Amino acid sequence: MAKFIFVSGGVTSSLGKGIISASLAKLLQARGLRVTIQKFDPYINVDPGTLNPYEHGECYVTEDGAETDLDLGHYERFLNIFTSQANNVTTGRIYQTVINKEREGAFLGKTVQVVPHITDEIKRRMKLLGNEGFDIVITEIGGTVGDIESLPFVEAVRQLQWELPEDDCLVVHLTLVPYLKAAKELKTKPTQHSVKLLSENGVHPDIIVCRTERPLSPELKRKIALFCNVKQEAVIEAADASTIYEVPLAMMREKLDVICLKKLNISQFNEPELGLWKEFLDKLKYPKSKVNIGLIGKYIELQDAYKSILEAFVHAGAMNECKVEVVNIHSEFITAENVAEKMESLDGLLVAPGFGHRGIEGKIIAVQYAREHKLPFFGICLGMQMSVIEYARHVLGLEGAHSTEMNADTNHPVIDLMEEQKKITSKGGTMRLGTYVCEIEEGSLAHRIYGSTKINERHRHRWEFNNHYLKAMEKSGLKASGKNPESELVEIVELNDHPFFIGVQYHPELKSTVENPHPIFVHFIKAAKDFAEKSTSVRNPALHGEMI
């Protein structure tokens, strides 16, 4: 039976509960324990699949096709393991299960209530992964303590603390210790209040992790320990880090893992094995060169909308010992007149995934520029579909070629709704989701990248390459180098006469981890480095190639 660590948050959101949870998990994993993390989100949507990025950032898709919170991406990137549907639970899903049971008659005669029925279902799901052979299950509770919607989750933790053996369960509470410039002081009051609020709900934290911009002095730690009723060693400083990948090491210095192990009464563990992690960090911190990569999307102003893509660039950059400077370019504002000016300083171009027609023409113009100027190009999902449309319009001369997602009446539907999608009307969880096999043509760019002819990648889409146009495309040079062996669905397109031009219908960014950077990203950055080297003579050398 596994032991359970619960991570709650107080004072404000965005304190980095996901990163702290993932870092703790990493340290415990590095000590030889089998660890997994799950997230419980208090909102009523059944999953974040129907939320737009303004609401919820990126929607992360797991191998088994669950549309989940972006924190699961952090868990996978840190731990190098796969998560699943069971790792992300929302209030909506809990209620849905309970209400379905009620309709089946499972509670016949009884009044169905938040306590015990909703809390029982929360507890059941909190313990579920405990039966999967893990030593430790870390559960991150979304939201902030004190929110009305978080209450049933906190109540479930309170009950579990009594039901589980004492040393099988502990609570870590993450708070903020703000620095007041005018007073020149760090303030502990918000932390005291937040711990008080948690305690009023019957849950007392064993460990308090304090997000702070300045180091916490021993006196300050003593003060927090005194007022919040924990040992001083259990007050952990979580100072701002230059990269999220530093946080596990910072938590190790603060002995967060050791304190957890002590409290959980686990005495069998090794010294942490973090060799690969440190090697990665060194490469990340001391790059030998730099490339500028244009990221074209319509949610460019949102940090979280393209989270996995940005992290995949970090992994691939480190692998290439190259700093990847991401230049955010809003697709809505790209025109034929300004495209050259916007692309001039780039060494590579990534056209992002997306939905709907906003910014579409800008994406097509950008692809055309990359194709014609031999700028390394990487299109993901909608980005791949745009490369097909661009090729159809400008090389095959199919005027007005489009995706039926944006223009249902186009004369040339080169991207069309998948057959099995045509009868689907309900929106939640109904896209082509999760992992599918793709067979790669020998000798292709994709084959060189993957070093294999059979791969598995994750999907989230409704539209696809229209195979009616395949022959004409291939004849003139846009090759379908990867296909699903059963459905013949085109998964990868690439250009013959271009140094690096690849579009993929799936989402490779979801499978890039620190210890396993995704090969397409790695090769894309390599191609951008080559491009930068070639063009240094014609452009400002201070911007490209060698770091000076």
Q: Which residues are catalytic?
A: 381, 507, 509
Among residues 5 and 382, whose Cβ is nearest to ligand GLN?
382
CA distances (Å), origin 261, targets 7, 34, 211, 484: 15, 13, 22, 46
Minimal distance, residue 58 CB to ligand GLN, in Å: 10
- The residues with which 546 forms a beta bridge, in sequence order, are 289
Which one of the spans 206-214, 230-238, 329-337, 454-462 is the region binding ligand GLN (CB under 6 A)?
454-462
Minimal distance, residue 80 CB to ligand GLN, in Å: 24
Which residues between 213 and 272 bind ligand GLN (CB under 6 A)?
none
CA distance 83 to 499: 35
Among residues 10 and 354, whose Cβ is nearest to ligand GLN?
354
Minimal distance, residue 418 CB to ligand GLN, in Å: 8
CA distance 462 to 166: 48
x-marked contacts with ligand GLN along 180-219 as a string, rule CB under 6 A: ----------------------------------------
Give Cα 499 distance to the centre of its chain. Answer: 29
Q: Indicate whether 18 belongs to the interface with ligand GLN (CB under 6 A).
A: no
Q: How many residues bind ligand GLN, per CB under 6 A?
A: 10
Which one of the spans 137-145, 214-222, 261-269, 461-469 is the region binding ligand GLN (CB under 6 A)?
461-469
Nearest CA to 467 among 496, 493, 444, 442?
493
Minimal distance, residue 298 CB to ligand GLN, in Å: 11
Please pick, from the candidates 60, 463, 465, 521, the single residue that binds ligand GLN as defined by CB under 6 A. Answer: 463
- The residues with which 138 forms a beta bridge, in sequence order, are 5, 37
CA distance 326 to 1: 45
- Could you give the angle at which helices 519-535 and 307-319 cross, rounded to 10 degrees? 70
Nearest CA to 502 among 316, 376, 400?
376
Minimal distance, residue 511 CB to ligand GLN, in Å: 15
Minimal distance, residue 432 CB to ligand GLN, in Å: 8
x-marked contacts with ligand GLN along 372-411 as a string, rule CB under 6 A: ---------xx----------------------x------
Q: Indicate whether 446 belongs to the interface with ligand GLN (CB under 6 A).
A: no
CA distance 43 to 240: 28
Among residues 95 and 355, whose Cβ is nearest to ligand GLN?
355
Which one of the spans 256-264, 303-311, 339-347, 458-466 is the region binding ligand GLN (CB under 6 A)?
458-466
Minimal distance, residue 505 CB to ligand GLN, in Å: 8
Q: Exposed, middle or buried by CB within 10 Å (0-12, 13-18, 19+), for 213?
A: exposed
CA distance 359 to 382: 11
Minimal distance, residue 518 CB to ligand GLN, in Å: 16
- The residues with which 209 forms a beta bridge, in sequence order, are 174, 236
Among residues 24 and 381, whose Cβ is nearest to ligand GLN?
381
| Residues contacting 217, CB < 8 A, separation 6+ | none
Q: Indicate whether 58 belongs to the interface with ligand GLN (CB under 6 A).
A: no
Which one of the spans 62-70, 178-186, 298-306, 349-357 is the region binding ligand GLN (CB under 6 A)?
349-357
| Residues contacting 460, CB < 8 A, separation 6+ | 59, 61, 67, 353, 381, 431, 432, 433, 507
Q: Indicate whether 298 belongs to the interface with ligand GLN (CB under 6 A).
A: no
> 205 near 231, Cβ under 8 Å?
no
Phi–psi pair at 144, nearest 5 degrees = -125, 140
Q: Indicate whether 461 belongs to the interface with ligand GLN (CB under 6 A).
A: yes
Residue 116: cis peptide before it, omega within 30 degrees of 0? yes
Please pick, from the candidates 53, 353, 434, 519, the single residue that binds ligand GLN as defined by CB under 6 A. Answer: 353
Among residues 33 and 295, whose Cβ is nearest to ligand GLN?
295
Q: Indicate whether 299 belongs to the interface with ligand GLN (CB under 6 A).
A: no
User: Which residues of this chain interact with ligand GLN, rule CB under 6 A?
Assistant: 353-355, 381-382, 405, 460-463
